[in-house]
A = this chain, B = another copy of it.
Amino acid sequence: MTKPTLYTSLSPALLHLYDVSDSVVVIIDVLRATSTIATALYNGAASVIPVATVPQCIELGKEVGGITAGERDGKIAEGLEYGNSPFEYPPSFIKDRVLVLTTTNGTKLLHMALDNGAKEIITGSFPNLSAVCDHLVEKKQNVVLGCAAWKDRVNIEDTLFAGAVINRIQDHFHIRCDSSRLAYNMYKSAQPDLYEFMKVNDASHYHRLTNFGLEKDIRYCLAPDGANVLPMFKGDRLVIG
């Protein structure tokens, strides 16, 4: 049997090069949107609704009686209640509640995948690495690993996650995609300490977040399987798939 294909899109500005209509698209926004989404759902959130803007977040938050969350320039955005850190969403707080989350890069990419008719959309991050890999192997469909990047600029952490997925599941897919090779090689050379790799390479996002004192967030977001569920986009929201 022919293996399904796997491609990696290193930036939203490259997503149009891949046929998402025939693929499962994995939205990857490691620092910190997709890590926080996995964590909130793992900790019992009823769903997470990703929205593009702060006004949408406020409006929808009222409509569904949800928690509104999102940051701009490292601070909780004006009019919202909570931030982007996974540590803000323990079970005692998030259980059975709806989280309306606005992020720039991850949400943009998710909506692009949706507009392009993606067959299925899930979100990936190190905290749910195994759930994502297991699903992709079971599903036996074509895959596009979509890095959310930073304002369309390729970033290290999303590329590392794509590489980590490829490292696990490459035998099950036909991969003729240099971006995937790039991601895989970077992941291999970053082993075993991804945090150290980010630091040594002075990753732009590492730099941005450590300026905000978020080392603990970064360490959590680079560790596998801390919140091992599969967020799947259904209707207008992410729920456990």
A178 touches B154 (CB 8 A): yes
Q: Residue on B with the closest CB to A207?
A: B176
Within the oligomer, what is the number of copies of this chain? 2
A155 touches B176 (CB 8 A): no
Q: Residue on B with the closest CB to A202?
A: B176
List residues 108-127 of chain A with CB under 8 A from any CB of chain B. Answer: none
Q: How far is the CB of A147 from chain B (nearest CB, A)?
A: 11
Q: How far is the CB of A190 from chain B (nearest CB, A)?
A: 8
A201 touches B177 (CB 8 A): no
Q: Is the interface of A mostly helix, strand, loop or mixed?
A: helix
Q: Residue on B with the closest CB to A183?
A: B182
Q: How far is the CB of A170 from chain B (nearest CB, A)?
A: 11
The answer for the CA separation of A34 and B176 in the assembled complex, in Å, is: 24
Q: Measuring CB to CB, which residues of chain A are less than 8 angstroms from any residue of chain B? A: 10-11, 13-14, 17, 150-156, 159, 176-179, 181-182, 185-186, 188-190, 201-205, 207
Subset of 17 A-B contacts with CB under 8 Å = A11-B14, A13-B17, A14-B14, A14-B154, A154-B179, A156-B182, A159-B178, A159-B182, A176-B204, A177-B204, A178-B201, A178-B203, A178-B205, A181-B202, A182-B186, A185-B189, A185-B201
